[in-house]
Structure 1
Amino acid sequence: MATTAPTGVQGGSRSETTSDPASTPGSGSPAPMTHAQIMKALSGLMLGMFVAILSSTIVSNALPQIISDLGGTQSSYTWVVTAALLSMTAATPLWGKLSDLFSKKLLVQISLVIYVLGSVVAGLSQNTGMLIACRVVQGIGVGGLSALAQIVMAAMISPRERGRYSGYLGAVFAVATVGGPLLGGVITDTSWLGWRWCFYVGVPFAVIALIVLQRTLHLPVVRRDVKVDWLGAFLISGAVSLLLIWVTQAGDSYDWISWTTAAMTGGAVVLGLLFLLVESKASDPIIPLRLFRNKTISLASAASLFVGIAMFSGTVFFSQFFQLARGESPTMSGILTIPMIGGLFVSSTVSGQVITKTGKWKAWLVSGGVLLTAGLGLLGTLRYDTPYWHIAIYMALTGLGLGMMMQNLVLATQNQVAPEDLGSASSVVTFFRSLGGAMGVSALGAVMANRVTHYVKDGLAELGPKAAAMGHGGTAGGGIPDLDKLPAPFRTVIESAYGHGVGDVFLYAAPFALLGLVLVLFIKEVALKSKPAAHAPAASAAPAPATAPAAASAAAAE
């Protein structure tokens, strides 16, 4: 355990110096950590990530039941997901900037506490509005955990070795992603528990994660007396929020071409331009615009935007497909998605190990883009009666592609920046991935609602005039239907509509994956560095005076 030494002020920058067991005597930087030390330090972080992802995915298979119980609609269904993604997207750059200024461990713990509080209150929700508000709080916490996990790893591990540990993080992601829907399905199907326990079950794990983090995570840190760009955070949040609200409501509450559309899109553009103006003048911008002068960072950020669309569309709409198009239970719905998670698990782990051994990463990004595009294109052929073995292959391809691209886009970016920009650069890529996910879920959710309504009307028209008069098949004007309460002919119409509608969603997502692949092709492969960011000298750090050799050799630890 590191012991805190007195703090001192040099050159206007305040730094906290402490002794660290990993430090090399007489050296200005700590010695590289061993594999055992790194795994110990990452244990609490990975547990925290597991809790956050588990608590996110555990809701996916319970959502049809949750929305039905709370009297929500397809729009509510989409917004329960989008609200968390929106707040996650807006918060990610802020967490990244804070990590450049303050204790990373403390920030991880704070983000975990925020997420748990949001989860507990979400379990008490009485209507969809309250649930959506709680999901906003959850998203703020997840934004911190998502950004900080990559930043903490980069502070301890060299880019060359980081692929190996990114693989471990990807494996945790995969296990939590497949475990969440399964556990959520079991809880929802258990009469004496109910869906509210989906939000409570992660609390004990979160408490354990907080304790483990406190005991195991110790990182070098330099704290600087600077201002956080709150105005920039507000402007980017407002621009993203307006854009997503417009995408979600257009075609339903108002026409795609209307004064409301013009006002909302125009407002988003104005806020976006103001954000760029503020960032260009801020002393410590939330997203340093100079980072985008680097071609790799610009291309990786844009590719992450399109990967986010593909990633979240898969996890969100599969539960509706299996439950509403094939009549499966929430538990079985989780089991049936294992091929996609299995593919993600294998590719993220294997690619990380091979990248560590070879130092080559671009081939994995390109291969991932090809597989992701192919998987989504094939999923675009889904219908309610598509043989499951076909679906399993398509899902596996999609999972393999995602596993190769998600972590490695962050790795390529981190390899290009100076230590003082590590947090901001990492969060930029995560930000664009979250933004893509939020926009994708909103837009594709609107597409699905529109297509399902269209297919239901067509199906009912084929059953005769009386059936056609039912409009949306008796599902409360676009609400989530209860298949067990529908007579056989109507049930078939609803199942067919949802099967075809989800297929259309994946068909719309495939071109975005293709765009991500094209962008990746233009990224130039740069040899991975052999030193972690914590061992590199920070450009912003003031040189230590000759009269203070002890302070120069001690690292600030969290």
Structure 2
Amino acid sequence: RVFRSASAIGFVVGFAMFGAMTFLPLYFQEVRGASPTNSGLRLLPMMVGLFGASIVVGQLVAKGRKYRPFPIAGTAVMTLGLGLLATLGVTTSSWLTAFYMFVLGTGIGLVMQILITAVQNAVRPEDIGSATAGANFFRSIGGSFGTAVFGALYVNELPHQMAKGLGAIHYHGPSIAVSHLTPQTLHALPLAVIGVIVHSISASVARIYVWAVPVGLVALLLSFTLPEIALRSSHHPVADEIPLSNADPVT
């Protein structure tokens, strides 16, 4: 039961996490004008929150011997972070964006590694490897689905936003292909059109996080199904393990 619950939570968290992370560099490059390298560096607040929360949770679980509260808290904080990112716009400050990413990373850090701990604690020692691989597999599959689904939603949303914005400024120039939009082609357009496209990209990315919030809520509901099993304090060897001190010498 622990493996089923943890795998389901991991799938949904991976769905939201990878889907969310995919579009932040796009936002930084197309909306904020950052370089590819700089857009990657701007993800550091999320990574700090993720790794910091993972370290703190590891220490708390080692002392308290209970892990169930952390997936619940983590999915709640993750959903809050997704909701904050849904407010992103062209004028959102860099510090505020960094704070939103930190909140999201903290939520992910509270839940990710604890799911692995719960799975490893629930299975026999000889099954730890396969159980860990299985849990990571479902998380990765969730990430793949999340990236694909959110990508499809973004590609569908952007043309609608652009058509609405270009219609508002009565643009009658050549059609603009969404698939050909790059920072280079964007800056070759008239300033009024650039403003419309930048706002359209920003609104489309924000819409992704609006859609991601219900996914986070699903993860929160699933986290309540994770059973609490007392953590093992030591490793008990299985019957076919022979201590080295008792093994026959090699001749």
Q: Give the TM-score taking structure 2 as reference length.
A: 0.90
Deviations 1:38-59 (A, max 9, x none): xxxxxxxxxxxxxxxxxxxxxx
Q: Distance in 1 between matches of 2:171 and 2:100?
A: 38
Structure 1 equivalent of residue 204 of structure 2: 501
Q: Are residues 1:305 and 2:8 paired?
A: no
Identify the match of residue 478 of structure 1 among 179, 190, 201: 179
- In structure 1, runs of 5+ residues without a counterpart are 1-294
Q: Do the aligned partners of residues 362 and 462 (structure 1) sit closer, same or farther apart at CA in structure 2, a change above 3 Å counting? A: same
Q: Corresponding residue for 1:550? A: 247
The residue type paired with residue 319 of structure 1 is P
1:372 positional shift: 0.2
Counterpart Cα distance in 1 of 2:31 and 2:189: 13
The structure with higher relative contact order (CA 8 Å, sep 6+) is: 2
Whole-Å separation in 1 of the counterparts to 2:5 and 2:181: 39
Q: Tell me the CA shift for residue 383 of structure 1.
A: 1.9
Judged with a 3 Å threshold, the aligned counterparts in structure 2 of structure 1 residues 477 and 401 are, in CA distance, closer, same or farther, namely: closer
**TM-score normalised according to structure 1 size:** 0.42
Which protein shows a greater Rg?
Answer: 1
CA contact (8 A) 1:340 1:399 kept: yes
Out of 392, 412, 434, which is 2:118 matched to?
Answer: 412
Match of 1:519 in 2: 222
The CA deviation at 1:413 is: 0.6
2:68 to 345, 362, 373: 362
Match of 1:330 among 36, 54, 58: 36
Cα deviation code 1:462-498 (max 9, x no counterpart): 121414xx33x3xx45223233322211111111111
Distance, in Å, in 1 between the alignment partners of 2:169 and 2:6 is 50
Residue 425 in structure 1 maps to residue 131 in structure 2 = yes
Structure-2 separation of matches of 1:341 and 1:331: 16
Cα deviation, residue 301, structure 1: 0.5
Matched letter for residue 500 of structure 1: A
| Cα distance per residue 1:167-216 (max 9 Å; x no partner) | xxxxxxxxxxxxxxxxxxxxxxxxxxxxxxxxxxxxxxxxxxxxxxxxxx
Give 1:517's aligned amino acid.
Answer: L
Q: Map 1:87-486 onto structure 2 (within 5 A).
A: 295-467=1-173, 470-471=174-175, 473=176, 476-481=177-182, 482=184, 483-486=186-189
Aligned to 1:218: none
Q: Secondary structure at the match of 1:486?
A: coil
Secondary structure at 2:233 match in 1:
coil
Task: Give the equivalent residue in structure 1 for 2:194.
Answer: 491
CA distance in 2, matches of 1:417, 1:442: 32
Using the alignment, how far apart are the partners of 2:74 and 2:237 within structure 1?
31
For residue 536 of structure 1, the aligned residue among 228, 233, 237 is 237
SS at match of 1:537: coil
8 Å contact kept, 1:323–1:329: yes
Cα distance in 1, alignment partners of residues 178 and 222 from structure 2: 41
For residue 331 of structure 1, report the CA deviation from its aligned partner. 2.9
Using the TM superposition, give the Cα deviation of residue 440 of structure 1 relative to its aligned residue in structure 2, in angstroms.
Answer: 0.3
**Counterpart residue type for residue 406 of structure 1:** M
Calculate the aligned-residue CA RMSD, in Å: 2.0
5+ residue gaps, structure 2, are: none
SS state at 1:327 partner: coil
Q: 2:15 corresponds to which letter in structure 1?
A: I
The alpha-carbon distance between structure 1 residues 382 and 358, as it changes in their structure 2 partners (threshold 3 A), is same
CA distance in 2, matches of 1:387, 1:434: 32
Among the aligned pairs, what percent are the same residue? 37
- Counterpart of 1:316, as a letter, is T
2: CA distance between counterparts of 1:529 and 1:322? Answer: 45
Report the secondary structure of 1:354's partner residue: helix
Q: Supply the distance in 1 between the matched residues of 2:212 and 2:162 (Cα, whole angstroms).
A: 22
